[in-house]
Amino acid sequence: MKIVKSFLLLVIVAAMASCSSVKVVVDVDKTVDFTQYTTYNFLGWQADSDKLMNEMDRNRVHAAFKNEFDARGMKYVEENGDMAVSLFFVIDQKTSTTAYTNYYGGRYGGYNRYGGGWGMGYANTTYSEHDYLVGTLVMDAFDGKSKDQIWQGVAKSTITENPAKREKATPKKIAYLMNKFPVPKK
């Protein structure tokens, strides 16, 4: 069971860090002036979803978010920030099916001297299935005083198992998510 958890953790982090494309969806409270937020703190991982990752990948995610907030002029504080941030991971197992068809032509034409006739071609189709995991990272931002949710960003991507790709891609994918954040980089 521990091996399965470790593999799932690796896969989730890989999904967020792979070089595949990232689909991002955001929702924002348009009545909020985001320039009022100068500090932030992390509330932690919702529903202990961080258990699906190893410590190195958790650190990569936190460092990537810290870099993004720093680039926007926001400072990290341990607690009681102007804005509070929580993170959540979800994993979905998917299957893709591909088909390849070989067409073999028959002989066409009338009877010949060997007694042949009209021929029909035939085809052979081969199906293959590929299982893969899709990781979803949800970032929720809350007003530090009122505790009201002010922003939500959801990033979805295929998970890769290659640690080197995860290390390079994690900051890129989080930057892609944060490009939709209402406070631009300075």
**pLDDT top residue among 35 and 8:** 35
pLDDT at 5: 46
Q: Which domain holds residue 10?
A: 2-94+133-178
The pTM of the full predicted model, rounded to 2 decimals, is 0.71
Q: Please determine, for residue 19, whether its predicted confidence score (pLDDT) is greater than 90.
A: no
Read off the CATH number of the domain in which 142 is found: 3.30.160.670
The pLDDT-based confidence of 17 (bands split at 50, 70, 90) is very low
Highest mean pLDDT among 44-53, 74-83, 89-98, 105-114: 74-83
Residue 61 lies in a domain: yes
Which residue pairs from 96-105 have beta carbons closer than 8 angstroms and sit at least 24 positions apart in sequence? 96/129, 96/130, 96/132, 97/127, 97/128, 97/129, 97/130, 98/127, 98/128, 98/130, 99/125, 99/126, 99/127, 99/128, 100/125, 100/126, 100/128, 101/125, 101/126, 102/126
The answer as to whether 142 is a domain residue is: yes
Assess if residue 114 is contained within a domain.
no
Query: Is residue 52 included in any domain, yes or no?
Result: yes
* Count of structural domains, the chain: 1
Cα distances (angstroms) measured from residue 22 to each of 26, 93, 154, 165, 181? 13, 17, 10, 14, 15
pLDDT of residue 9: 46
Question: What is the per-residue pLDDT for 28?
Answer: 96
Distance, CA of 148 to chain centre = 26
Residue 150 lies in a domain: yes
State the Cα–Cα distance between residues 37 and 151, nearest whole angstrom. Answer: 12
User: Does the structure show a pLDDT above 70 at 111?
Assistant: no
pLDDT over 50 at 10, yes or no: no
Flag whether 78 is in a domain: yes
Tell me the average pLDDT across 76-88: 95
Residue 137 domain flag:
yes
Q: What is the per-residue pLDDT across 117-154, written as a single tens digit (0 to 9) for each? A: 555 667 788 888 888 888 899 999 999 999 999 999 99
In a domain, 75, yes or no: yes
Q: What is the pLDDT of residue 105?
A: 62
Q: Over the chain, what is the mean pLDDT?
A: 82
20-79 confidence digits (pLDDT tens): 489 999 999 999 999 999 999 999 888 777 777 778 888 999 999 999 999 999 999 999
